[in-house]
């Protein structure tokens, strides 16, 4: 892999700052891939059946991500093209793109995205749930799940009060999802997931984001939920047919307990009596996509609600 041209530093050689340890696992099995999709300052590679996201590490890290500084990310993004061939050179620990650009992981810090269960104070959790819903209402967060301010307020009241009988068409669907998460044997998981997965617009549909948020919160709370097991089975059977490639990828990792760093931070903040940390985590989530962050936080809240820890 070349580093210089005529004695000068190769302007298209980029070094990664951080990389998910899952990327190493992908590259152990596949050494040839392609540029899958391009965005303003980031892009996805496809190796085998798995995506690898390359972007600005300050924007947070996907569980299948490689993080660069902003300048390097923009420079590399401008140097590549859609569907371009990419080779992984295990000797130099770097990617070689068809157009000549290179990206090395040699000095990148490895990150682990597995969200393990933690002990928590139930009163703190419920106080943070109320704080979060109040902030979402106060700041008028836009979700893909609700279309009007009235719908949004009804959804937030549904989250806050367990016995609320909502007037929204999807309230029954929310309750079905909660029952599935609690391990109900009287509900068909395929029926429930058919409704949610792929529901909504965007790179990651709103329904996908809600399920991802639920899985994350249930993971950290140590819930004996069947949701992840049912999700793994569903994705294996028909997930690719139901949602976008990026939506599928985040769901695949959620089914295995691994999440975006902003989501990890948000779930951990929900267990602490630290309003400043919770606000910072909330603002980071709010910046994700058009409604993706808001939908994912809604899933977190629904995950807490599905446990029915206490009447509040």
Question: In the chain, what is the greatest distance between 2 CA atoms, to the nearest angstrom?
Answer: 72
Q: In the listed set 64, 91, 111, which residue is the last one of a domain according to the structure?
A: 111
CA distance 232 to 239: 9
Query: 281-310 in b/e burial notation, b at 16+ Cβ within 10 A?
Result: bbebbbebbebbbbbbbbbbbbbbbbbebe
168 with 302, same domain: the answer is yes
- Mean pLDDT, residues 94-122: 96
CA distance 273 to 118: 14
272 with 175, same domain: the answer is yes
162 with 256, same domain: the answer is yes
- CA contacts within 13 A on the Cβ side of 73: 22
101 with 171, same domain: the answer is no
Q: What is the pLDDT of residues 231-284, one digit of tens each?
A: 999 999 987 899 999 999 999 999 999 999 999 999 999 999 999 999 999 999
Q: What is the pLDDT of residue 4?
A: 36
101 with 133, same domain: the answer is no
Q: In terms of residue numbers, what domain contains 69? A: 4-111
Q: Which DSSP category does 145 fall into?
A: S
Q: In terms of pTM, does the model score above 0.85?
A: yes
Residue 312, in any domain of the structure? no
Residue 253, in any domain of the structure? yes
């Amino acid at each position: 892999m070349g580093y210089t041209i005529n004695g000068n530093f190769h302007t298209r050689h980029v070094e990664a700052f951080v990389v998910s340890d899952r990327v190493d696992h992908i590259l152990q099995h596949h050494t040839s891939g392609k540029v899958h999709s391009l965005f303003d300052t980031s892009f996805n590679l496809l190796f085998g059946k798995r995506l690898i996201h390359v972007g600005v590490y300050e924007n947070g890290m996907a569980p299948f991500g490689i993080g660069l500084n902003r300048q390097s990310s923009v420079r590399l993004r401008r140097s590549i093209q859609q569907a371009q061939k990419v080779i992984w050179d295990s000797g130099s620990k770097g990617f070689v793109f068809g157009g000549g650009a290179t990206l090395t992981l040699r000095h990148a810090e490895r990150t682990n995205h597995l969200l393990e269960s933690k002990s928590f104070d139930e009163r703190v959790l419920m106080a943070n749930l109320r704080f979060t819903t109040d902030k979402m209402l106060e700041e008028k967060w836009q979700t893909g799940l609700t279309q009007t301010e009235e719908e949004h307020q009804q959804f937030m009241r549904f989250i806050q009060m367990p016995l609320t009988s909502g007037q929204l068409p999807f309230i029954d669907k929310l309750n079905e999802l909660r029952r599935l998460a609690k391990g109900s044997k009287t509900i068909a998981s395929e029926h429930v997931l058919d409704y949610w997965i792929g529901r909504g617009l965007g790179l990651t549909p709103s329904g996908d984001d809600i399920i991802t948020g639920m899985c994350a919160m249930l993971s950290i709370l140590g819930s004996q939920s069947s949701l992840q097991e049912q999700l793994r089975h569903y994705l294996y059977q028909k997930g690719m047919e139901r949602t976008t490639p990026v939506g599928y990828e985040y769901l695949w990792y959620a089914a295995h307990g691994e999440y975006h760093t902003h989501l990890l931070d948000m779930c951990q903040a929900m267990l602490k009596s630290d309003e400043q940390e919770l606000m910072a985590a909330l603002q980071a989530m709010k910046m994700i996509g058009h409604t993706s962050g808001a939908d994912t936080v809604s899933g977190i809240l629904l995950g807490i609600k599905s446990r029915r820890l206490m009447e509040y």
